[in-house]
Amino acid sequence: MLKSNFIILIITFIILQVSYVVAEEKFLSLKKNKVNVRYGPSFDSPVKYIYKKINLPIMQIDEKENFRRIIDYKKNILQEEQHEFGTRGLVQSDDLRCKLISCLVRRM
């Protein structure tokens, strides 16, 4: 009895960890025409840059309160913080939607 409860507990823990990892990185798009990308997860944090394109595809890599850390698909060389996918920043979760938007990117 104790052994079966322990196995159920381990399986539950593994399922929760896998679902957490899967939920962390996902592709989203911008909901509004003007979206502020900030340095920190609050409205008091300074604006790093502004997106001015609705439905722009981005990738969410982390969550902090009601803000999401995102990466865009372009490699902006003007920003100091780079990732394999593009430039990073924090966006309010209300400015994002789960609708998948496709884009073609030509590699040189």
Total residue length of the chain: 108
- The identity of residue 28, as a single letter, is L
The whole model's pTM is what?
Answer: 0.62
Under 8 Å CB-to-CB from 93, ≥6 apart: which residues?
63, 66, 67, 68
**Taking the domains of the chain in order of start, what are their residue ranges?**
26-97
CATH of domain 26-97: 2.30.30.40
Q: What is the mean pLDDT of the chain?
A: 75
pLDDT of 40-93, one tens digit each? 888 999 998 888 888 888 888 888 889 998 887 664 433 444 444 456 789 998
pLDDT at 76: 46
Q: How many helices (H) and strands (E) does the chain have?
A: 1, 7
pLDDT at 102: 60
pLDDT-derived band of residue 101, with 50, 70 and 90 as boundaries?
low
